[in-house]
Structure 1
Amino acid sequence: MRLILIRHPQPLVAPGVCYGSSDLPAEPKDLERVLAELRTSASIGSGKAHAPLIPDDTPLYASPLLRCAALAHRLGTPVLDARLAEMDFGAWELRSWDDIPRAEVDAWAADLVHYRPGGGENVLLVAARVAAFRAELLRQPHAQAAIICHAGTIRLLTALQAGLPLHETALLAAASPHKTAYGEAVILEASA
């Protein structure tokens, strides 16, 4: 199945703030930019005409967090699934990264898979819920599906492609550099 993974538009939050599972809306201008790009992103033929990246008949799934759901609802009628939400950073949520004690950040860096930043989720828990979503999706008879989600979710869905045990998948995703831009699409060919 072809998976079209799309990161949400830029959220309304100050730079340098930890905002994992916080339910922040998308910045309105960035929402419009991403929507316009998705509707005209696939060139046809000589490039004179454009088609949407997500055809109308493509099943659409999204994280229920506002920054994802707003885009998904503008694209169609999504299935909102909490398993696609970004990691919960507990007490770190909506704090400046500079205000989080260095010792806590170092503890997370020392154990990327099991440490619970701010007492929230650890990467292994997030990997388990994302893997459960993926397994259920791949049992569907779709040729492709679009998923509006978060950078962390995209890293996990990408890492799941390797077919590794869940612990190794979580470590692979956690150690992967964060490089998915707001509104960027990542295409995967996935199989069960």
Structure 2
Amino acid sequence: MDGGCSGVWLLSRPTGGAAGDVDGQPLTQLLTIDGGSWTLRTLLLIRHTAVCDSVRGRCYGQSDVPLRAAYRQDIDSAIEDADLRFPFARIYSSPLTRCRLLAEKIGSGLKLPVGYDDRLKERDFGDWELQTWDDIHAATGNAMDGLIDAPETFAPSGGETTRQFAQRVLAWHAELPHEGRFLVVTHGGPIAALRGSLAGVPVHDWPQLTPPMGHAVRIDG
């Protein structure tokens, strides 16, 4: 389980090769991009900053949980660490507070409006939302393995399957203009699902594509 209580993915089980490999090929190689140039379309995806301690160890998915008390400093650090030197055509964000506060600060600095889209929300965990992972495991046993083992069919009661979740993120991506630089503030799950789907990475390796809170990754094309 994720020690940072992100509630994004539960398991990471590489199937062969060194840790971080996919079918024997390093993930870094599968996802390598040219750091010295920009393609016709580039996305800079930033994961929201750290959430409050009160939800540590809980599944919070689409629940609108607050950021930790030091969120202003966290947001400033995330902005400083991100590569914002190039002009962006637009900012997109999940509407949940933990993303919205960062997106608004960036938008204010870059003098760009923020477009909010529900498809950039974290995975919907249904009845599991805000329960502790220990309680979920006590009630369901190994059912949570289905998030990765059965991405097409398994969903927590009232929630999304992994495939449904990925499809809505990909639907958002498909509507983007074909050219331009876009900044996206979202959650670990959508970032991993988008990176994994576009690169053809198996679902069981998607957890390795999740950046730390407050960190950015880039997708070209």
Q: Normalising by structure 1, report the TM-score.
A: 0.79
Task: Give the equivalent residue in structure 1 for 2:114.
Answer: 78
- Shift of the 147–121 alpha-carbon distance from structure 1 to 2, 3 Å rule, reads same
Q: CA, structure 1 residues 59+174, in 2 after alignment: closer, same or farther (shift >3 Å)?
A: farther
Q: Provide runs of 4+ in structure 1 moved above 6 Å.
A: none
CA deviation string 1:137-163 (max 9, x = no partner):
1x2542x1010001110011112322x
Listed as ranges, the gaps of 5+ residues in structure 1 are 43-51
CA contact (8 A) 1:7 1:148 kept: yes
Q: RMSD of aligned C-alpha atoms?
A: 2.2
Q: 1:160 to 1:68 in 2, by over 3 A?
A: same
Does the CA contact (< 8 Å) of 1:10 and 1:31 recur in 2? Answer: no
Asked if the contact 1:87–1:121 (Cα under 8 Å) also holds between the matched residues in 2, the reply is: yes
Equivalent residues of 2:62, 2:129 under 8 A apart: yes
| AA aligned opposite 2:194 | L
Q: Is the 8 A contact 1:20 1:89 kept in 2?
A: yes
**Could you say which residue in structure 2 is the equivalent of 1:155?**
192
**Structure 1 segment 122-133 matched on structure 2, within 5 A:** 122-133=161-172
Alignment partner of 1:118 out of 146, 157, 170 = 157
Q: Please report how far the alpha carbon of residue 119 of structure 1 lies from its aligned counterpart in structure 2 after TM superposition.
A: 2.9
1:35 to partner: Cα distance: 2.6
SS in structure 2 of the partner of residue 148 of structure 1: strand
- Write out per-residue CA displacement over residues 43-94 of structure 1, whole angstroms, 9 at most, x where no aligned residue: xxxxxxxxx6265644110001111011111111310000100110001000
Q: Secondary structure at the match of 1:176?
A: helix
Unaligned runs of 5+ in 2: 1-40, 108-112
- Alpha-carbon distance between aligned partners in 2 of 1:127 and 1:11, rounded to the nearest angstrom: 23
Q: Percent identity?
A: 34
Which one of 74, 90, 95 corresponds to residue 64 of structure 1? 95
1:9 aligns with 2:40: no
Q: Measure, in 1, the Cα distance between the counterparts of 2:190 and 2:99.
A: 12
Secondary structure class of the residue paired with 1:4: strand
The aligned residue for residue 124 of structure 2 is 88
Map of 1:19 onto structure 2? 60
Contact 1:54 1:146 in 2 (8 A): no
